Chains A and B, each alone.
Chain A
């Protein structure tokens, strides 16, 4: 894993439908300055900048990293753009960490963002390429069949997705940065919303958000403030169409989890971890990823959700921040998971702090559930 690496600063914008008051440059700078402030540093203390966001076609800005260089204080410094679809926020953090772990730099600024109000993700994900009749309408249209297959295989009752939709939104009420904050949300409210892509209901879907997230990564000798130590990081990918591919529980996710657990010495994630921030853009992905990530056996994930194990007061809280279901600036969503994991073990998560959290998982996935990025951060040095 190389040299030790720590998160020493976290900065987020308030996630919302429209940030008309700022340009994309202004948006990322806001998050970057907050992360630097948290670390007690300025741009002058940063050696390199790594930027992540979803496909260029979303906002139609080609190579936005070039345009954002001056807003991120990157003039005269190495700057890299990472691109792994929805998992990009997580991959961006891991690329930044690798620059520390490899001994290349002492401090790296990692920033990810999306300005969905100036984008149309469903359009960008549904471009009708010539010579193919493949019929997928947006991310929901892609993931709905895999959710249906999970429901069939596991025999999970229909209301499990509703429980996740309610739980994550109630957590979001405790997170001042969350986009969807719906006090009093309950099952009846979720179930009264229309099916968009059956079996996915409107309130079982993530919102479209504007927002940016930034973290400052540091080598051991350059640590300032309160560090969250990186105990392991891993990425995996797999071809979207390969014979025998399991789209409900992709092998790349299983392998990625096994790798990051091995690095961190985790043998039983439900017992060894205190909190997890997992990329759940559609409510049913909580039980699906519970199984894919080995928090329980196959077809058992929904039982953990139903029993409240993943609630804020459960034995393994998932998405204490409200998760992707409550805030989804797509390119940033993975980094928010990684950053929230760091906030938890730094004891700085505020009202949604999980008491005594010492080790946390950050997770992101993207594309047709074909890219995975994960890290485990801890309060103690690895």
Chain B
């Protein structure tokens, strides 16, 4: 008795060498033009351009060739009365997405089967569209053929169609060597000692922090240095619900902090307090880490 009642057997039936087909004058011309990197249709008696071409007009049954044609491509620029160069671009009329291509599919990545109406044609051609993602597909989109380098006279001489070029990516990157400048260098150096260095304008009497060499209001040279902070008062703030790499989490508070003794606020991260507990007038103090200000935090009761 057989141990397996219903065995599976793989069986191949393949005609040796493949069948030979005569193309006839119309399809032959189409394939020959494909090999040359062109797409042609045939014009019917009613003036319709069929692509891919047919030997006999489906509307009337009459031959689409009206004159004894040369079947080889014409050398002259005018193709002939019956053959019309179309495309190479076209418009997608209908499409369906193939998310998981099979072995015999023309592309090994997700693609669309599409009905493409090539420019100057009256009928549509089925072909693959390599659009990358289904989001890039839409009815009415413009597509162009991607030709194979080595063509043999087959519809697959067009590997697939691809969307028109409508956008490009322009990479912009600049790289500089920067130095903080004399004033800011002094300010940053003071921060490593956990000191906020400020300067007083001799004319307006305003105290500026960070320390700077000239007054932004009147232009006077600032010579007097003084220390301000590290405690201060929140003048106003925003609760940010958009992430920022410099903030530990969302939401985070960016606050204007008027350091004690200064006349200009600095904008800094405010932490160690829930955002809803922050108020204007809140007393805060700088928290230093690694030689700079990590953030500000509410001042603890003495």
Residue numbers of A with Cβ under 8 A of B are 20-21, 60, 122, 126, 128, 130-131, 133-138, 140-141, 144-146, 148-149, 152, 194-198, 200, 239, 241-245
**B217 contacts A243, C-beta separation under 8 Å:** yes
Please give, as numbers and ranges, the residues of chain B lying within 8 Å of A197 by CB-CB distance.
238-242
Please give, as numbers and ranges, the residues of chain B lying within 8 Å of A194 by CB-CB distance.
241
**B236 contacts A126, C-beta separation under 8 Å:** no
Q: Known pairs A149-B235, A243-B264; list 5 more (Cβ under 8 Å).
A: A60-B172, A135-B269, A148-B280, A149-B280, A243-B263
**B280 contacts A134, C-beta separation under 8 Å:** no
- Measured in the bound complex, the distance between the Cα atoms of B2 and A141 in whole Å is 79
Please give, as numbers and ranges, the residues of chain A lying within 8 Å of B240 by CB-CB distance.
137, 141, 144, 196-198
- Measured in the bound complex, the distance between the Cα atoms of B207 and A128 in whole Å is 25
- Measured in the bound complex, the distance between the Cα atoms of B267 and A145 in whole Å is 10
Please give, as numbers and ranges, the residues of chain A lying within 8 Å of B215 by CB-CB distance.
242
**A131 contacts B188, C-beta separation under 8 Å:** yes
**B254 contacts A243, C-beta separation under 8 Å:** no
B95 CB-CB contact with A under 8 Å: no
**B236 contacts A239, C-beta separation under 8 Å:** no
Given the known inter-chain contacts A243-B201, A243-B217, A243-B264, please indicate yes or no for A145 contacting B180, CB distance below 8 A.
Answer: no
Residue numbers of B with Cβ under 8 A of A are 166-167, 170, 172, 178, 180, 184, 188, 201, 204-208, 215-217, 235-242, 244-247, 251, 254-256, 263-264, 266-269, 275, 280, 292-293
Q: List 24 A-B contacts (CB under 8 A).
A: A60-B170, A128-B245, A128-B246, A131-B178, A135-B244, A140-B242, A145-B235, A145-B237, A145-B254, A146-B236, A149-B235, A149-B236, A149-B280, A152-B280, A194-B241, A197-B239, A198-B251, A198-B275, A239-B216, A241-B208, A243-B205, A243-B207, A243-B217, A244-B263
**B166 contacts A242, C-beta separation under 8 Å:** no
**A141 contacts B293, C-beta separation under 8 Å:** no
- Measured in the bound complex, the distance between the Cα atoms of B178 and A128 in whole Å is 13
**A242 contacts B206, C-beta separation under 8 Å:** yes
User: Distance in Å from the Cβ of A368 to the closest Cβ of chain B?
Assistant: 10
**A126 contacts B217, C-beta separation under 8 Å:** no
Q: Which residue of A lies closest to B237 (CB)?
A: A145
- Measured in the bound complex, the distance between the Cα atoms of B242 and A346 in whole Å is 43
User: Distance in Å from the Cβ of A346 to the closest Cβ of chain B?
Assistant: 37
User: Distance in Å from the Cβ of A118 to the closest Cβ of chain B?
Assistant: 8
Given the known inter-chain contacts A133-B292, A148-B280, A243-B264, please indicate yes or no for A141 contacting B170, CB distance below 8 A.
Answer: no
Q: Name the prevailing secondary structure of the A interface residues.
A: loop
- Measured in the bound complex, the distance between the Cα atoms of B263 and A286 in whole Å is 28
- Measured in the bound complex, the distance between the Cα atoms of B215 and A272 in whole Å is 39
Q: Which residue of A lies closest to B243 (CB)?
A: A137
User: Distance in Å from the Cβ of B192 to the closest Cβ of chain A?
Assistant: 13
**B263 contacts A135, C-beta separation under 8 Å:** no
**A145 contacts B264, C-beta separation under 8 Å:** no
Please give, as numbers and ranges, the residues of chain B lying within 8 Å of A195 by CB-CB distance.
239, 241
User: Distance in Å from the Cβ of B67 to the closest Cβ of chain A?
Assistant: 43
**A133 contacts B268, C-beta separation under 8 Å:** yes
User: Distance in Å from the Cβ of A148 to the closest Cβ of chain B?
Assistant: 5
Please give, as numbers and ranges, the residues of chain B lying within 8 Å of A149 by CB-CB distance.
235-236, 280
- Measured in the bound complex, the distance between the Cα atoms of B267 and A195 in whole Å is 20
Please give, as numbers and ranges, the residues of chain A lying within 8 Å of B245 by CB-CB distance.
128
In order of increasing CB-CB distance, the 8 nearest A-B pairs are A243-B206, A144-B238, A243-B263, A239-B216, A198-B239, A60-B172, A145-B236, A149-B236
Please give, as numbers and ranges, the residues of chain B lying within 8 Å of A144 by CB-CB distance.
238-240
**B236 contacts A136, C-beta separation under 8 Å:** no
Please give, as numbers and ranges, the residues of chain A lying within 8 Å of B166 by CB-CB distance.
20-21
Q: Which residue of A lies closest to B267 (CB)?
A: A134
Please give, as numbers and ranges, the residues of chain A lying within 8 Å of B292 by CB-CB distance.
133
Please give, as numbers and ranges, the residues of chain A lying within 8 Å of B204 by CB-CB distance.
243
Given the known inter-chain contacts A130-B178, A243-B208, please indicate yes or no for A145 contacting B293, CB distance below 8 A.
Answer: no
Please give, as numbers and ranges, the residues of chain B lying within 8 Å of A244 by CB-CB distance.
206, 263
Please give, as numbers and ranges, the residues of chain B lying within 8 Å of A133 by CB-CB distance.
246, 268-269, 292-293
